Amino acid sequence: MGERRETSLDRIFDLAIIGGGVNGCGIARDAAGRGNSVFLCEMNDLASGTSSWSTKLVHGGLRYLEYYEFRLVREALIEREILWQIAPHIIRPLRFVLPHHNGLRPAWLLRLGLFLYDHIGGRNLLPPTRSVDLSRDEVGKPLIANRYVKGFEYSDCFVDDARLVVLTARDAADRGAEIHTRARAVEIRQVDGIWHVTVEDTLSGVRKTINARALVNAGGPWVEDVLASGAGVNARAKVRLVQGSHIVVRKLYAHDRAYMFQNSDGRIVFVIPYQDDFTLIGTTDRDYDGDPAKVKASAEEIKYLCDSVSEYLTNPVTPEDVVWTYSGVRPLYDDGASEAKAATRDYVFELDTPGGAPLLSIYGGKITTYRRLAEEALERLSPYLRSAKAREGWTGKSPLPGGDMDVSAVSALTAELIRNYPFLSTAHASRLAHAYGTRATKLLGNAKSLVDLGQAFGATLTESEVRYLMANEWACTAEDVVWRRSKLGLRLSAVETAALDARTRHANGGWHPDHPRCLADARARHPERAVGPDAVGQDLDHAVARRSRQTDIRARPGRRQGCHRLRCAAAFGGDGLPAVHQLSLLDRL
């Protein structure tokens, strides 16, 4: 394995955060924006856990009204439009059709719930609920004829969940936060009222210790494991791990609305237009007992989802139709509910001060309320932070990177990209506009043709975009690029995937100081540099030269040879997709 080197930093951060999911990154952004020095470490990639395995919705949670979660629903409904306005490129309005099912919830109850849903959360921009005659309206055409004749159509929002996390982290870093991925917190301890967090680089084994006045445990499903790593705190709150699985099939219908289907077991299943050519179906709710990193959709869950939607759709969905599955573990607060579906989605904080320094652990929560969770977390920590009160509420007004435009401007941005870069297809320009917003031009640079964007990997993914993701969004592996920064893994063929993998295989020398993670950090250290492909290329060219000088050093016995190749042999795309290796996208692109 090679010897491990212990290093330490003398700086004392105002706040250290363990966990790079939506909650951890949300707190980092808010704290940095208020003037605090922030350090965040994530043991894998940003959003590699629960935050990227959601149903992709920013919503109030209509079904939570049945469990009298009025405060949670109201807060989520308010946040729904706030998030849409600060990130209109990755969040968009979506209309949902809720058919009335004879024998289940009565129509009057659905109408009452939707009336509350429209009015308790300050809906200003989204259209209201309407009744739908499913025998006449186009949204009734995919449904079994004469079985469902009445329904309702209401509003919520769709979100690219993983990009929401990454852009939140990017904004935090732009405001001075240090974001470290592939960095596992292996020990936390207090010395003289200061937290000492020992962080291990999971690629190299190098350890360093950082110091902080306050510590946030945003470990998600691993929240209790963080507490067990030496904090000396006996957590009173308990986490309930609930598995939610989803399936993706080819596009099921032509219109752009989603469906919310009721099941006889009391659960609901969403059917959502996804990535233009696909349909997303989910989710399940069942308790999970195992390693959260190894969760995957079971055959039983896949069949359950297929059967659930087939009760409504004219054309049944079978397991053979599934092109991709994904599954995540929700770290819910254990409120003693008898069934997983009834467990609260609200968040709970536990603040401990062993030895005088605060440790705030987070249980539960949902993507929609992550911004408010961050505000409340800093309110809890305000007695211990120097700048906790400054600029309170600013995160609801300042756009995320690329989101500095009107909520209706994405189509106009797409048209502008096509005018300025006429070699882009409409599909390519639209994808870039929805992923990067107004920052799309930074990865396109001064390109005059597709050739100027470098190697084409397929499905509109180019070398220029990969370089941008490496330098600005902490992408290190092929999986980071095609399954979290995008969902192009759904479109890349086996041959195209192999070509991308071949490029990453060429960079198998392990971690080094010019790792892409460091290139992303360099953007913050050297703001005078451009962030376009040319500037990134200069950094990468420097890395190539540096690595050529170090070849003889790395060949010596005892050095960590090819640790990325040996360590990252994992499934590239989840169940049912071609398996390729996750290898670092380093300077050889």
Instruction: Say if residue 155 is in the same domain as residue 168.
Output: no
| Nearest residue to 284 (alpha-carbon basis) of 298, 264, 294 | 298
Instruction: Say if residue 64 is in the same domain as residue 107.
Output: yes
Estimate the crossing angle of helix 70-86 against helix 370-381, to 10 degrees: 110
Sign of the C-alpha dihedral, residues 42, 45, 51, 57? positive
Instruction: Say if residue 32 is in the same domain as residue 73.
Output: no
Instruction: Say if residue 512 is in the same domain as residue 561.
Output: yes
pLDDT attached to residue 342: 66
CATH number at residue 10: 3.50.50.60
pLDDT attached to residue 192: 92
Domain end, chosen from 301, 329, 357, is at 329
* Domain assignment of residue 364, yes or no: yes
Instruction: Say if residue 222 is in the same domain as residue 274.
Output: no
pLDDT attached to residue 536: 33
pLDDT attached to residue 469: 92
Domain that holds residue 14: 6-50+163-238+345-396
Segment holding 496, helix H or strand E = helix 494-505
What pairing do the DSSP bridges indicate for beta strands 359-364 and 322-333? unpaired
* Domain assignment of residue 413, yes or no: no
* Domain assignment of residue 476, yes or no: yes
Segment holding 304, helix H or strand E = helix 299-310
Instruction: Say if residue 562 is in the same domain as residue 479.
Output: yes
Place of tokens 């856990």: 49
User: Structural domain tally of the chain?
Assistant: 4
| Nearest residue to 331 (alpha-carbon basis) of 313, 345, 320 | 345
pLDDT mean values, one per 10 residues, the chain (589 residues): 49 97 98 96 96 96 90 95 98 98 93 95 93 97 96 98 98 98 95 95 95 97 89 75 97 98 94 98 94 96 98 98 97 78 80 91 94 96 80 91 98 98 98 98 97 95 92 91 95 84 53 40 36 34 35 32 29 30 34
pLDDT attached to residue 306: 98
Looking at residue 560, the DSSP 8-state letter turns out to be: -
Instruction: Say if residue 222 is in the same domain as residue 247.
Output: no
pLDDT attached to residue 354: 84
C-alpha triplet 512, 566, 578: angle, nearest 5°: 115
Rounded Cα distance between 375 and 215, Å, is: 15
Domain end, chosen from 135, 159, 183, is at 159
Torsion of CA 551, 553, 556, 558, to 10 degrees: -110
Instruction: Say if residue 234 is in the same domain as residue 374.
Output: yes
* Domain assignment of residue 515, yes or no: yes
Cβ(313)–Cβ(289) under 8 Å?
Answer: no
* Domain assignment of residue 430, yes or no: no
| Nearest residue to 17 (alpha-carbon basis) of 245, 234, 199 | 199
Instruction: Say if residue 253 is in the same domain as residue 371.
Output: no
| Nearest residue to 155 (alpha-carbon basis) of 202, 203, 196, 119 | 119
Instruction: Tell me the three state secondary structure of residue 535.
Output: helix
Rounded Cα distance between 400 and 370, Å, is: 14
* Domain assignment of residue 588, yes or no: no
Instruction: Say if residue 278 is in the same domain as residue 254.
Output: yes
pLDDT attached to residue 588: 33
Instruction: Say if residue 548 is in the same domain as residue 562.
Output: yes
| Residues 363-383: b if buried by 16+ CB within 10 A, e if exposed | bbbbbbbbbbbbbebbebbee
CATH number at residue 308: 3.30.9.10
Residue 163, token pair as written in the block: 């990009």
pLDDT attached to residue 504: 60
* Domain assignment of residue 434, yes or no: no
Instruction: Say if residue 116 is in the same domain as residue 210.
Output: no
* Domain assignment of residue 439, yes or no: no
